[in-house]
Amino acid sequence: MLYSLQAGGKRIRPMLLYAVLESYDMDKTAGDSTACALEMIHTYSLIHDDLPAMDNDDFRRGKPTNHKIFGEATAILAGDALLTHAFHLISSDDRLTPEQRLENVRLLSRAAGPDGMVGGQTADMLAEDEEVTVEEMESIHNRKTGDLLAVALQMGAFIAGAEKKEQEALHRFGIHIGLAFQIKDDLLDVEGDEQLLGKPVGSDEGNHKNTYVSLLGLEKTKERLKFHTGAALSELEELSVPSHILQELAVYIAERDQ
C-alpha cells in the first residue's frame, strides 16, 4: 500500500479539495482525511489498472508497478485495502460533523463505484477494438476520470458550507477539468517525454484504445482541450469567493508535461 502511495504523482484530487477550502477561507486541515481518502482511491485504481488483466503496465510514476514488485495477488489486496481504508478514514474523522462524514462517504462511494470510476473503466475496456464516437468516449471519461476529480471539489464545497448552486458549479468545473485531464493524457501519450511521464509513451495505441487523438487527430484534440479548459473557467464565475487557485489548477491540468 505504502509503496504505491509514496511513489509520487500529481496529487490533483487532494489539491482540488484543498483549493476549494482555501477559496472559502476554511482551515485546510479539516480536509486532511478526505484528501487522503481521495488519493487512496485513486492509487488503488492505478494498482488495479496496471495488472496484466487490465492495462498490463510495467512502470508507474517512474517505478516498477505494484504487481512487478509484490506479485499480482498482493497488488490486488493492496488495492482492495486502500479502497476500504479510504472510507474508514472519512467515517472516523472527528474534525467533520456526522452529517459531513455521511455525505462525503455517499458522494465518494458513488463517484468511485459502478455509476462512476469503475463503471467508466468497465466501459473503457469494453470499447477496446470497437469504434466509438467522441460523445461516447467523453461519457466514458466523465465516469472514469471526471467523477473522482469533480467529487473532490464537491466534498470540499460541502465541508466549507458552500451554497448548493456553488457546489453544483464546482461539480461542473470538475467534469470539464476531468475531460481536459484525459485529453491532455492522450496528447502526452503521443507527444510526451517518457522520462517526465515515468512510463512509456504510445501505450494507448499499442493497447488499441480509443483516444481523442485517434478519433480527432492532434490539432482538433488540442482545440477540444482548449474548449473544456475555457468551459471549466467559466463555471468559476458562479462562485462568491476568490477562485484564482482553482483557475491556476485548471490551467496547470491543460499545460502540464507529465
> CA-to-CA distance for 95 and 47, rounded, in angstroms?
30
Q: Which pLDDT does position 208 carry in this prediction?
A: 59
**Residues whose CB is less than 8 angstroms from the CB of residue 164 and which lie 6 or more positions away in sequence, other chains included:** none
Q: How far apart are CA 111 and CA 94, in angstroms?
A: 23
Mean pLDDT calculated for residue range 37-42 = 97
Question: pLDDT category, 210, cuts 50, 70, 90?
Answer: confident
189: its cell numbers: 501519450
What's the confidence (pLDDT) of residue 256? 86
- pLDDT band for 125, please (50, 70, 90 cuts): confident
CA distance 20 to 167: 10
Instruction: For residues 212 and 225, give the distance between their C-alpha atoms in angstroms, rounded to a whole number.
Output: 10
Please give the average per-residue pLDDT across 186-215, as a whole number.
Answer: 69
pLDDT for 113 equals: 96
Q: How confident is the model at residue 257 (pLDDT cuts 50, 70, 90)?
A: confident
Kindly report, residue by residue over 88-101, the tens digit of the pLDDT.
999 999 999 999 99
DSSP-assigned beta bridge partners for residue 60: 63
Task: State the pLDDT at residue 179.
Answer: 93
Query: Is pLDDT above 70 for 229?
Result: yes
pLDDT band at 201 (very low <50, low <70, confident <90, very high): low
CA 251 to chain centre: 16
Q: pLDDT category, 127, cuts 50, 70, 90?
A: confident
In this prediction the pTM is 0.88
> Is the pLDDT assigned to residue 195 strictly greater than 80?
no
**pLDDT tens digits, one per residue of 68-84:** 999 999 999 999 999 99
pLDDT band (50, 70, 90) for residue 62:
confident
**What integer best gives the mean pLDDT of the chain?**
91
> What's the pLDDT tens digit per position in 134-156?
899 899 989 988 899 999 999 99
Task: List, in order of start, the domains of the chain with CATH numbers.
Answer: 2-255 (1.10.600.10)
Q: What is the mean predicted confidence (pLDDT) over 35-57?
A: 95
